Amino acid sequence: MHIPLRESLPGLAKFCLLVTLALLFSGCASLPDRQFISGEEEKELRSRFKDMVVKQQHCHCCLDATAQVYLSSLLFSGQLKGYLQALSPSFVKFVALNPLGQPVGVLTSSGQKFRYVNVMNSTVYDGDVDGNTFADYAPEGFVPAFSYYWLIGRLQPGPVQLIQLSRDSEGDGIWVELLYDNKRKALLLFSPEQGVILRHIVMNGDDERILNILYDKYGAGECPVPGKITITSLRLNSTLEISLTDFRPNVTLKTQDFVNPAPPSFSRIAVD
């Protein structure tokens, strides 16, 4: 059975689905003030950024942590606790738990399809990332095939052109302007001292932000992961904040871990 999203999902299911969509995409409007740099300083910073990217390519493939997710929007506001798993390049899984530690909802995305299992009402919702639901909520420029990298503050693999570097006017780091192979321009706020990405902005053809993610509270180690990810959206008029704790070190996940089964007795609904 195929049913439009707004007609098919009850309150909790909509909230959980919006959380997962927000885990994958969000947007904002204005661009930061920058001071352009050149010469030897630009050359040195460019080299340090490239070193970070090369180092990231050798980092672990997986993420498994306790998650607290807060979503505030015109439609829904609330908080979910559970755990978040992610696997390179595109697999994401969020399990929402009740106060007793029992699953109340399981949401997965492979980068091509997504599924939400609502344990509370014994219903399964399936959809495609190129369907109407994603078209309704996703900004231009989002690439579901690389959601893992966008979630944990790493540069997605593949061809990318480094255009220019500039200094953040508030002294927060170095802005690196990139051109992805899909011809989308991006700005990354890079911390040379920490060797991490602090912010990721993707722009449309009018140089307006269509995706904005802040990365904060990085952990220690050779491949630090942010403990706080904040996504703000002008289009959805919403803010999503993800706090991660209790990381499982060197966890190994497989694609099978993102299969989201449900009992045969559950109702099945295909979301357009």
Percent share of the chain, pLDDT over 90: 56
Please give the average per-residue pLDDT across 119-134, as a whole number.
Answer: 86
Question: What value does the mean pLDDT of the chain take?
Answer: 85
Nearest to 106 by CA among 120, 90, 88: 120
According to the per-residue pLDDT averaged within each range, which of 27-31, 92-96, 109-113 is highest? 92-96
pLDDT in tens, 206-242: 777 777 889 999 999 889 999 999 887 766 667 789 9
Contact 71, 240 (CB under 8 A): yes
> Which CATH number is associated with domain 2-271?
2.50.20.10
Nearest to 149 by CA among 204, 197, 190: 197
List the single range of 44-53, 67-76, 250-259 with lowest mean pLDDT. 67-76
Residue 128 CB neighbour total at 10 angstroms: 15
Cα–Cα distance list, 94 to 48, 57, 89, 192, 257 (Å) = 34, 24, 16, 32, 12
User: Rounded to an integer, what distance in angstroms lies between the CA atom of residue 56 and that of residue 59?
Assistant: 5
The pLDDT of residue 250 is above 90: no
Nearest to 162 by CA among 53, 56, 88, 55: 53
Please give the average per-residue pLDDT across 121-145, as a whole number.
Answer: 76
Cα–Cα distance list, 241 to 114, 147, 211 (Å) = 21, 16, 15
User: Rounded to an integer, what distance in angstroms lies between the CA atom of residue 198 and that of residue 215?
Assistant: 5
User: Rounded to an integer, what distance in angstroms lies between the CA atom of residue 257 and that of residue 99?
Assistant: 24
Domain spans, the chain: 2-271
Q: How confident is the model at residue 12 (pLDDT cuts 50, 70, 90)?
A: low
The pLDDT of residue 55 is above 70: yes
pTM for this structure? 0.85
Total residue count of the chain as it appears in this document = 272
Residue 141: left if φ>0, alpha if ψ -120 to 50, beta else—which one?
Answer: left
The pLDDT of residue 143 is above 50: yes
List the single range of 57-61, 66-70, 243-247 with lowest mean pLDDT. 57-61
pLDDT in tens, 28-40: 445 678 888 889 9
The pLDDT of residue 27 is above 60: no
> Which residues fall within 8 angstroms of residue 44, CB to CB, at 6 or more apart?
none
